Amino acid sequence: MNKPFPPGDILAHSPFAAFLGVEMDESDGAHLYRLVERERLVGNVQLPALHGGAIAAFLELCCAAELARVAGLHTPPRPISINLQYIASAGPVPTFSKPQVRRIGRRVAVVHGEAWQLGPDKPICAAQCEFRI
């Protein structure tokens, strides 16, 4: 069903990632994922604040992409569970994440990711994800 693709290239082959607006930067040697600022990502126009679902989707995509890169996967990892903790309200500005792959087993991998806007020390949301690989 899924055509093999170069590892780490998940985002470039995901229509949903393009619709959401997720990009990866490798410029500083590290892998930094970015959710581009877009009006359509807002969930509450009065505050205004990003939609919790958009933040969840961003973190899950980053975690999957980082896992595929680190583990050299040629097919997309399938999510088993995702556990999200919303730490602070997120404004309509760019959002970043540097997910960490915690364990790669034979069938299951564990990835943690935090999203931030003003700085990595001010997280807005944390995600624990398990993937089938």
Partner 1 sequence: MTSRPEMLNRVTPWSDALALEFLTISSDCAVMRQPWRDDLAAFEDAMLLASGAIATLIDQACGMAVMARFDRQVVISTLNLKIDHVRPAATASSVTVEARCYHMTRNIAFVRADVWDTDPGALVAAAQGSFAFRRHPSS
DSSP 11: G
Cβ-proximal residues to 102 (8 Å cutoff; 6+ apart), any chain:
110, 111, 112
Rounded to a whole number of angstroms, the minimum distance from the CB of residue 103 to partner 1 is 19
Residue 16 is encoded by which pair of tokens? 């949903």
For the CB of residue 108, give the shortest distance to partner 1 in the complex, in Å.
13
The Cα–Cα gap between 7 and 25 comes to: 15
Q: Which is nearer to partner 1, 62 or 101 (CB)?
A: 62
Q: How far is the CB of 72 from partner 1 (least distance, A)?
A: 17
Q: Is 35 in the site for partner 1 (CB under 8 A)?
A: no
Tell me the C-alpha distance between 87 and 15, whole Å.
Answer: 28
Binding site for partner 1 (CB under 8 A): 1-3, 10, 13-20, 39-47, 49-54, 56-58, 60-61, 76, 78-86, 89
